[in-house]
Structures are given as structure tokens and as C-alpha cells.
A and B are shown apart, each in its own frame.
Chain A
Amino acid sequence: MYKDLLIRFILGGAAVMVSYLITVISPWKILAGIFAAFPAVMITAVLMVGIASGSKNAAKIANGSVFGMIGGVVCVATVWTVLQVRGNWTLSIVLGLLFWLGSSIIVSSFRDKLKNGRRNILRPNVLIRHK
């Protein structure tokens, strides 16, 4: 568990540090933002599950992370929009967090429904096979 946290700390810290470094020394300012969105959490999760339980389960983590990333897109889009429209930095972060939470809850509920739907489709097939 500590190894997992250590890798997350290093990847997350390095991403923010590189993002800053690019802002200062590089002419490619958009790259700083790309690094600020570096998928440190997804990489670590895939890495740790890959080590512990193999490639198939690691692939499930990667697929599952797509749903979580939608909330991230909503968060950044909200911050960007509020900054453009109102020019209020603090408000943009507060609204970004609120919209992230709201959209993540919606996406999570949708994902649960999708999973339950799949289970209900698969169950009759299993029963037919047993007959």
C-alpha cells in the first residue's frame, strides 16, 4: 500500500513540477496544461493492479477510468468558462469542484445502470444454458 502511495506521490508531484517547468522555460505553453492533466492516478492504478492481479484486471481499471475522466473534463471546462466569462479565479475553482462532483455522481449512476443492465441481459442466457 505504501509503495502504491509513493508512486502516486512521485508521479503527481513530477507532473505538477514539469507543468511549471514548461511554463517557465518552454515556448509551448499548451504543453504545461497537458502535463497538468497527466493521468498519474490511472497509470499508478493500472501498474499496481497489473503487478498484483495481471493484465486482464489492469485493463478493467483502464476502461473504468474513462468514466472518471469525464468528470475531470467537466471540471476543467467549468474553470475555463468561468475564467473567460467572469474572470474570477476563486469562483472558477469553487464552481469547477462543484461541477466535477455533480457530473461524477451522474456518470457514476449511469455506469451502475449500465452494469446492472448488462447483468440482467446475461442472466437469462445463463439460465437457458443450464436447462
Chain B
Amino acid sequence: MGDLSISALLIRFILGGAAVVVSTLVARNLGEKAGGIFAAFPAVYLAALLTVGLDFSGDELVAHSILLSKGAIVGMGINIMVAILAGYLLPRQGWKRGLLQAMGFWLVVSMAVVMITTYS
């Protein structure tokens, strides 16, 4: 996977964007209960996982997918913390500032995890 190409980036941008939009449209057309469930469809993760299949096969595909999933499970844990923090901050700081601070927290915690897992 050493080479980086514009077309590979573009394919991933379109697939990721389309996955999120399609899951949103499905969620809106399914009614309140089923729609609520599909609104949280992990579209970005699945799109990223499927695009790993574009570059690898066999054991390499499995190894890269495990690596991606390992990061994603950490990422989803961070997301839960971010959502709880956003729920706390938004009414107190206003939605603009609150959302910005919550995203700042996402970035800081993500980088801390990267540093801890890489250099410890």
C-alpha cells in the first residue's frame, strides 16, 4: 500500500460520503424506531473496512482489517466519551463552543492514545 494516488483518495472520499448519506436516507424512510437505529449505522467504519479490500487480499487483508478494527474500537470508545461531554457542554457553553470543545477533546484523547500505544 506504499503508493498514494489521487484516484485512490477520491474513491475513498466518494465511498465514505455515499455510505453516510445512504444510511441517513434509509434511516429517514424507516419510521421512528427503525430509523433511530439506522441513524447510528457505523457507515464510516464499514466503508473504510470495505476499501481495505480494494488494496489487499488473503492474510494481508485480514491483518490490515484487524489493525483498522483495533483502532476503530478505541475510536468508538472515545466517541462515547465525546458524546457524553457534548451533552454536558452544549447547554452550558452554547452549541458552537460546546461542539468545538468536544471535538478538541476527541483530537487530544485520540493523539494521547496514539502516543501511549506507539511509544510505551
Which single residue of chain A is at the shortest CB-CB distance from B48?
A: A36
What is the total of A-B residue contacts with beta carbons within 8 Å? 266
5 A-B pairs with C-beta separation under 8 A: A16-B19, A37-B75, A41-B39, A45-B39, A93-B46
Would you call the interface of chain A mostly helix, strand, loop, or mixed? helix
| Residue B114 lies at the interface, judged by CB distance under 8 Å to chain A | yes
Q: How far is the CB of A108 from chain B (nearest CB, A)?
A: 5
User: Is the Cβ of B74 less than 8 Å from the Cβ of A34?
Assistant: yes
Contacts of A50 in B (CB 8 A): 90, 95-96, 99
Q: For chain B, residues 52 to 92, give those with C-beta under 8 angstroms from any C-beta of chain A.
A: 53, 59, 61-62, 64-80, 82-84, 86-91
Would you call the interface of chain B mostly helix, strand, loop, or mixed? helix
User: Number of A interface residues, CB 8 Å?
Assistant: 76
Which single residue of chain B is at the shortest CB-CB distance from A53?
A: B95
> What is the CA–CA distance of A12 and B72 in the complex, to the nearest angstrom?
14
Given known A36-B75, A66-B83, A77-B73, contact A58–B95 (CB-CB < 8 A)? yes
> What is the CA–CA distance of A89 and B68 in the complex, to the nearest angstrom?
13
